[in-house]
């Protein structure tokens, strides 16, 4: 098989536009989410039409890869076009991902940025910035469309409730409401996450609730075909119907058995990687064997996507690597203990010449990994000794199971990259 760089240089036989297969790409059409788009717009419409003294909120609630971010972003993109054509009054659009924010100041800076205001990191208080932004919106007659993604993570952060409360009250902080706010809050599991909500937030949160269900095989087929035919990401002749149904069946959710992922991101990724494999082997069609190979070895469940893992802090990456390693070394065990993980973690730190974190910090990081859904950590009462923490990688996450070796390899690369970047500073 050719190396990746050789492959990059070679002519694409199957993939026409790689960007259209990437995570961040928002397609023009979203099959099976037309109703979600319509309902969201309907609910937020007064704000989009320029009404100034209101807040309208829609909660998106659904598991991984069900189109929540895509729907929210696609509305943001459309608003931009409408404003340009002067079909609606000016509206600013800010997209915030909770993984990259942890303070109210950061949220306000991001909102500022969407308005074209650059707020310096130092020199202003949160209150100054809030006031400035509100005055700006008020003076210029702007409304605001704000998407708060991965709100489950937000609520588990120290300042999470404060941040949410500030957002919910943003347009009425200084007396009467100065602008209209259309808010989309995105959750993977609202029922569980809302337990982290303070009463003050709960009582200010009046929202329209939209459920995003995992996609069935049939729905995933339509999504894959749309990516191939309408978006032109992949040459149509290279993909037979069999290939599309094979991928859709592997990932699709079956409501009667409640099994299957229903994750569009994963389905698209399998198609993409299978196409890549076929190209690397010099073929111009994807074969069932490419799909099988990719499913068994090449794809990690969405929560372990490289771009998500990249956002973890260095010690969290090392800890996750330590967990994956310990699990690989103890295949016969369903879970490993905190003690075993700590040993491996300290070993890894030693190898990289990094000072390991102390017990409490390690424990906090393990909790964070668990909150992100990357691991399961349960405190169990041991038979012989006191309480122990059992750690595992949730198995049912993979199509077959999480390929731990691939997780290990990915983390190793990311850690080494980060360390060499640091030492070259």
The interface with ligand ATP within residues 125-184 (CB under 6 A) comprises none
Residue 68 lies near ligand ATP (rule: CB under 6 A)? yes
Cβ proximity to ligand ATP, 48 vs 187, nearer residue? 187
Q: Cα(101)–Cα(290) distance, rounded to whole angstroms?
A: 39
Instruction: Assess contact for 136 and 173: CB atoms under 8 A.
Output: no
Cβ proximity to Mg ion, 40 vs 69, nearer residue? 69
Cβ proximity to ligand ATP, 231 vs 249, nearer residue? 231
**Shortest separation between residue 212's beta carbon and Mg ion, angstroms:** 10
| Residues in contact with Mg ion by the rule CB under 5 A | 69
Residue 66 lies near ligand ATP (rule: CB under 6 A)? yes
Q: For the chain, state the CA radius of gyration.
A: 23
Q: Which string of b and e fits 310-326 if b means at least 16 CB within 10 Å? A: eebeebbbbbbbbbbbb
**Angle subtended at Cα 303 by Cα 300 and Cα 308, rounded to the nearest 5 degrees:** 105
* Residues facing residue 210 across a β-bridge: 60
Cβ proximity to Mg ion, 53 vs 100, nearer residue? 100
Cβ proximity to ligand ATP, 188 vs 365, nearer residue? 188
Residue 394 lies near ligand ATP (rule: CB under 6 A)? no
Residue 323 lies near ligand ATP (rule: CB under 6 A)? no
Per CB under 6 A, the list member of 15, 88, 223, 239 interacting with ligand ATP is: 223
Q: Cα(342)–Cα(323) distance, rounded to whole angstroms?
A: 9
Residue with token string 């009582």: 203
Per CB under 6 A, the list member of 101, 182, 264, 377 interacting with ligand ATP is: 264
Residue 36 lies near ligand ATP (rule: CB under 6 A)? no
Residue 214 lies near ligand ATP (rule: CB under 6 A)? no
Instruction: Assess contact for 318 and 349: CB atoms under 8 A.
Output: yes
Per CB under 6 A, the list member of 248, 268, 271, 286 interacting with ligand ATP is: 268
37: which residues sit within 8 A by CB, 6+ positions away?
Answer: 30, 71, 74, 75
The interface with ligand ATP within residues 359-378 (CB under 6 A) comprises none
In eight-state DSSP terms, residue 25 is -
Cβ proximity to Mg ion, 99 vs 126, nearer residue? 99
CA distances from 37 to 76, 149, 251 (A): 11, 16, 24
Residue 260 lies near ligand ATP (rule: CB under 6 A)? no
Per CB under 6 A, the list member of 30, 285, 412, 419 interacting with ligand ATP is: 30
- The tally of CA atoms less than 13 A away on the side-chain side of residue 347 is 11
Judged by the rule CB under 6 A, the positions of this chain that interact with ligand ATP are 23, 25-27, 30-33, 64-70, 188, 223, 226, 264-265, 268, 302
């Amino acid at each position: 098989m050719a190396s990746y760089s050789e492959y990059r240089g070679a002519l694409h036989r199957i993939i026409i536009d790689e960007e259209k297969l990437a995570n961040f790409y928002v397609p023009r059409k979203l099959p099976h989410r037309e109703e979600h788009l319509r309902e969201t717009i309907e609910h937020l419409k007064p704000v989009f039409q320029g009404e100034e003294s209101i807040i309208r909120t829609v909660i998106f609630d659904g598991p991984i890869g069900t189109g929540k971010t895509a729907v929210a972003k696609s509305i943001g993109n459309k608003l931009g076009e409408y404003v340009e054509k002067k079909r609606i009054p000016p509206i600013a659009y800010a997209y915030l991902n909770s993984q990259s924010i942890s303070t109210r100041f950061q949220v306000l800076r991001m909102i500022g940025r969407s308005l074209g205001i650059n707020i310096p990191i130092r020199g202003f208080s949160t209150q100054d910035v809030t006031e400035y932004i509100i005055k700006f919106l008020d003076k210029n007659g702007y409304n605001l469309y704000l998407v708060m993604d991965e709100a489950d993570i937000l609520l588990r952060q120290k300042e999470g409730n404060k941040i949410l409360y500030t957002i919910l009250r943003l347009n009425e902080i200084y007396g009467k409401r100065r602008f209209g706010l259309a808010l989309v809050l995105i959750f993977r599991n609202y029922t569980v996450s809302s337990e982290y909500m303070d009463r003050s937030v709960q009582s200010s949160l009046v929202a329209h609730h939209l459920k995003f269900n995992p996609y069935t095989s049939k729905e995933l087929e339509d999504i894959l075909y749309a990516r191939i035919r309408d978006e032109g990401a992949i040459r149509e002749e290279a993909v037979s119907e069999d290939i599309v149904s094979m991928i859709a069946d592997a990932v699709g959710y079956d409501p009667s058995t409640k099994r299957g992922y229903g994750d569009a991101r994963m389905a698209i990724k399998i198609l993409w990687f299978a196409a890549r494999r076929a190209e690397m082997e010099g073929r111009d069609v994807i074969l069932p064997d490419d799909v099988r190979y990719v499913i068994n070895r090449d794809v990690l469940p969405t929560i372990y996507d490289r771009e998500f893992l990249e956002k973890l802090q260095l010690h969290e990456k090392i800890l996750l690597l330590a967990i994956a390693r310990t699990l690989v070394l103890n295949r016969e065990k369903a879970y490993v203990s905190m003690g075993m993980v700590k040993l491996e973690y300290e070993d890894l730190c030693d190898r990289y010449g990094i000072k390991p974190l102390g017990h409490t910090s390690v424990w906090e990081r393990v909790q964070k990994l668990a909150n992100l859904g990357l691991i399961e950590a349960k405190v169990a009462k041991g038979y012989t000794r006191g309480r122990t923490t059992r750690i595992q990688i949730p198995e049912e996450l993979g199509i077959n199971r999480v390929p731990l070796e691939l997780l290990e390899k990915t983390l190793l690369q990311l850690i080494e990259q980060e360390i060499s970047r640091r030492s070259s500073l």
